[in-house]
Amino acid sequence: MTDSFNHVTCPKCGYEENSTTAQKCEICGQPLKKGKSLAPVIAGVGAAVFLGALGFTGYNAFFRRPAPQATNPPAVPATPTDANNPGANPSPTAPTTTPGQPTDVANALSWGDRVLFTDTSNADMQAGAAAYATGDYATAAAKFEAARKAIRNDPESLIYLNNARLGATPALGIAAVVPIGDTPNTARELLRGVAQAQDEAIKAGVPVKVLIADDRNDAGQAAAIANVLVQDPNVVGVIGHGTSTTTLAAAPIYQQGQLPMISPTSTTTELAALARDGGNFVFRVIPSDQFTGTTLARHMLSLGKNRPIIFYNSQSSYSKSLQEAFSTTLGLEGGQVAKLVDLSQGNPAAELQGSGADAIVLLPDSATFDAAIAVAQLNQGQLPMLAGDAFYRIEALQKGGASLTGTVVTVPWHPLKSMPPFAQTSSSLWGGDVNWRTALSYDAFQAFRSARSAGNVTAASGQQGRAAIGQALAGQGFSATGSTGAISFLPSGDRNTTVLLVQVEPGSRSGTGFDFVPLP
């Protein structure tokens, strides 16, 4: 449809900023009609049909709950835990969980009554958790504060400290689900953004407690945790999960349970294909692979290159999704894939010879990252290279070095493009620069905070608070301010944003001799 600012909304992906002179959508390539409203098409078709038309694989959820019968689900019966005091336990032995759940899930949740990170040892953390479990919040706060002074950049201690300081004060509960058991450093990066946003909210007079959950980057564990969170009346929103695989496993459960979820880091296009009966409760603040793939393909075409060899991992939903988005845009706009190489098979670097390609596109996941680096090293600068956001990490500069010089990488965030207040506060709080995961988890929390305000949600709102937050996030006029600027969402739940491009150049900021430098 054409809006009052002379833009055309795509009937398939929901992108709203197409020019009225555009023949097709700038994001997905859908032909655009002029002169009549496409609102009924948007409502009847939606993002799921768009993705299906492009050949994206749908996700058939498991561990699904029965579909709710009403837009606002009935309140869940109260548990022995005080609904106005997330994390308070009625007895020294009461767990932070509901009866009958698997033991591994019971041990994977904490408001402050257990320490989830076990790769480091801190006696003050253990003492604080023991005090928190008995309801001795003053002692818990003192111990968590001592732990934080010892390890300044530890987000777990700051979250538990803030929870303990709130004590029995009525507060909203937000769950942050991260892969502690699999990649603790990644989990910490995500939790730093949550902890910073929680700290700012409390100082601004908005009491919020954070429940940390560990899904171990395991789809089954993620689904089990999602089922528990849906049934917990203390939780009004979820920030997570850390990967596309775990997010896809949990998202249908949150959607059917009408518990708002915002993923900070899941990019797969399959998330937009999720059925959203009864309203939308699944969102993300990182650009979708559709946006990223489109941006990367168009940049390559602008360089006069149109026959790339693409390296990806067919076993990764993230890598496959990004490859499909890139290839679709390339085909729609006159290019052709010279060769498609699976990084998980054989000797992928050997496929460079005789490919007839005029560019290299590297779209690995974490498991095939080293294989992609080997391709770059073999190329020796002969062909221009472009890469997905999996390359936006210090390890790329350390391992790739000079072989990556000139490589263009898509990124969801860059410190030089960040909003000044976030960059300054984060550096002061954590004692150094933070990365994109921290920035985007911060954005997810900020979106919840703005939705809480828009929906007039309080700690006493209960299940109705979830519905109000979900409606606010999905609202056409919703906007929040995060580390990267304005946050708003498309009908698909995707963030309405642009994708940044950076180039690897010699530099001193990273300490490797090379830096990611934003393109103009």
Cα separations (Å) of 171 from 62, 75, 186, 187? 32, 18, 27, 24
Q: Extract the tokens encoding 251.
A: 């998202």
With a cut of 90, say whether residue 39 has pLDDT above it: no
Question: Which pLDDT score, from 0 to 100, does residue 102 have?
Answer: 53
Say yes or no: 504 and 381 in one domain: yes
pLDDT, one tens digit per residue, over 117-161 is: 999 889 999 999 999 999 999 999 999 999 999 999 999 999 999
Q: Extract the tokens encoding 162.
A: 């803030």
DSSP single-letter state for residue 287: P
Say yes or no: 190 and 318 in one domain: no
Say yes or no: 276 and 335 in one domain: no
Say yes or no: 240 and 387 in one domain: no
**What Rg value do the Cα atoms of the chain yield, rounded?**
23
Say yes or no: 277 and 334 in one domain: no
Q: Extract the tokens encoding 257.
A: 């349970």
- 326 CB-contact burial (10 Å; exposed 0-12 / middle 13-18 / buried 19+): buried
Question: Which pLDDT score, from 0 to 100, does residue 268 have?
Answer: 87
Say yes or no: 109 and 215 in one domain: yes
Say yes or no: 263 and 118 in one domain: yes
User: Is 487 a domain residue?
Assistant: no
CA angle, corner 315, sides to 309 and 318, nearest 5?
75
Number of independent structural domains in the chain: 3
Residue 438 and residue 239 in contact, taking contact as beta carbons nearer than 8 Å: no
Say yes or no: 189 and 254 in one domain: yes
Say yes or no: 506 and 465 in one domain: no
User: Is 79 a domain residue?
Assistant: no
Q: Extract the tokens encoding 140.
A: 């818990």
Residues 6+ apart with CB under 8 A from 100: none
- 40 CB-contact burial (10 Å; exposed 0-12 / middle 13-18 / buried 19+): exposed
User: Is 98 a domain residue?
Assistant: no
Say yes or no: 334 and 313 in one domain: yes
Question: Which pLDDT score, from 0 to 100, does residue 122 have?
Answer: 92
Nearest Cα neighbor of 128 from 146, 154, 116 is 146
DSSP single-letter state for residue 12: T
pLDDT, one tens digit per residue, over 196-236 is: 999 999 999 999 999 999 999 999 999 999 999 999 999 99
Say yes or no: 147 and 265 in one domain: yes
Q: Name beta bridge partners: 239.
A: 176, 262
Amino acid symbol at 3: D
pLDDT band for 480, please (50, 70, 90 cuts).
very high
Question: Which pLDDT score, from 0 to 100, does residue 317 have?
Answer: 84
Question: Which pLDDT score, from 0 to 100, does residue 275 have?
Answer: 87
Q: Where are the alpha helices (DSSP H) in 22-78?
A: 39-44, 46-53
Residue 371 and residue 350 in contact, taking contact as beta carbons nearer than 8 Å: no
Q: Extract the tokens encoding 17.
A: 């900023």
pLDDT band for 462, please (50, 70, 90 cuts).
confident
Looking up residue 267, the CATH number of its domain turns out to be 3.40.50.2300
* E strand or H helix at 486: strand 485-487
Helix (H, G, I), strand (E, B) or coil at 178: strand
With a cut of 80, say whether residue 56 has pLDDT above it: no
Say yes or no: 168 and 119 in one domain: yes
The whole-angstrom distance between residue 433's C-alpha and the CA centroid of its chain comes to 19
User: Is 68 a domain residue?
Assistant: no
User: Is 53 a domain residue?
Assistant: no
User: Is 94 a domain residue?
Assistant: no
Q: What is the average pLDDT across 331-355?
A: 95
Mean of per-residue pLDDT scores for the chain: 84
Residue 519 and residue 503 in contact, taking contact as beta carbons nearer than 8 Å: yes
Nearest Cα neighbor of 87 from 201, 164, 185 is 164
User: Is 484 a domain residue?
Assistant: no
Largest CA distance in the chain: 70
Give the separation between CA 268 and CA 273, rounded to whole angstroms.
10
Give the separation between CA 259 and CA 279, rounded to whole angstroms.
11
Question: Which pLDDT score, from 0 to 100, does residue 271 have?
Answer: 92
User: Is 485 a domain residue?
Assistant: no
Task: Give, rounded to a whole angstrom, the gap between the first and last alpha carbons of the chain.
Answer: 31
Residue 199 and residue 79 in contact, taking contact as beta carbons nearer than 8 Å: no
Note down the domain range covering 283: 103-287+419-475
